[in-house]
Amino acid sequence: DSGVTQTPKHLITATGQRVTLRCSPRSGDLSVYWYQQSLDQGLQFLIQYYNGEERAKGNILERFSAQQFPDLHSELNLSSLELGDSALYFCASSLDYRGTEAFFGQGTRLTVV
Amino acid sequence: AQTVTQSQPEMSVQEAETVTLSCTYDTSESDYYLFWYKQPPSRQMILVIRQEAYKQQNATENRFSVNFQKAAKSFSLKISDSQLGDAAMYFCAYSPHPNTGTASKLTFGTGTRLQVTL
């Protein structure tokens, strides 16, 4: 158990809908990362938050947004969902923004039908 | 941009034998980190081993060791005394060193699926 908790584990929704994925980092970790794992794109970095502020942005679509709350948990919001958004979404956390050792959650499997 | 290449989509090894998974990367930085992550059927991404580019000594974690060739930009993973529980997808990943000021995101390769047979 990495100590990073993601909910829900599975999510099935229809095209056009909006979903929220939640991540609780390991106790004491200030940095949260979101990654997307899909068959065609592989594992891709989406966005990083550190202590409540956006730190880095990767290949994140404009339909997607994230935030990190004062209690350090993070949420990834996916809207206007398309079939191609079906993927495994991982959250990872690290102690600081340097991310030299990131611990991953078990992921949320999103299926868009 | 940094890229990570794993040219072996699948590998197979017999239990108790040794297997080496290959990884090459491309970067213009001199300081960075390299990682091997394991993803078993449970989907959890598990850190296997980490190498800091400025350290010439190859990292070792129990049965797992790396062969880091900085000039060749090569970073292979050797698994000794393979066990059934080693069967998984293995991903090589690159991260810039914090001192470069670049975002500490992980860039992953496409993965190598390792099968362990009796």
Contacts of A85 (CB under 8 A, 6+ apart): A78, A110, A112
Chain B nearest-CA distance from A67, in A, is 17
Say which range, A19-33, A93-107, B55-69, B84-98, has the weakest mean pLDDT. Answer: A93-107
- What pLDDT is attached to residue B96? 85
pLDDT band at B30; cut points 50, 70, 90: confident
Q: Is the pLDDT assigned to residue B103 strictly greater than 80?
A: no
Mean per-residue pLDDT, A89-95: 93
- What pLDDT is attached to residue A40? 84
Select the residue of B42, B91, B95 nearest A99 (Cβ to Cβ): B95
pLDDT band at A99; cut points 50, 70, 90: low
For residue A105, what are the CA distances in angstroms to A23, A56, B77? 8, 19, 23
Select the residue of A97, A98, A101 nearest B47 (Cβ to Cβ): A101
For residue A66, what are the CA distances in angstroms to A6, A15, A17, A110? 14, 20, 16, 16
Chain A nearest-CA distance from B111, in A, is 9
A55 touches chain B (CB under 8 A): yes
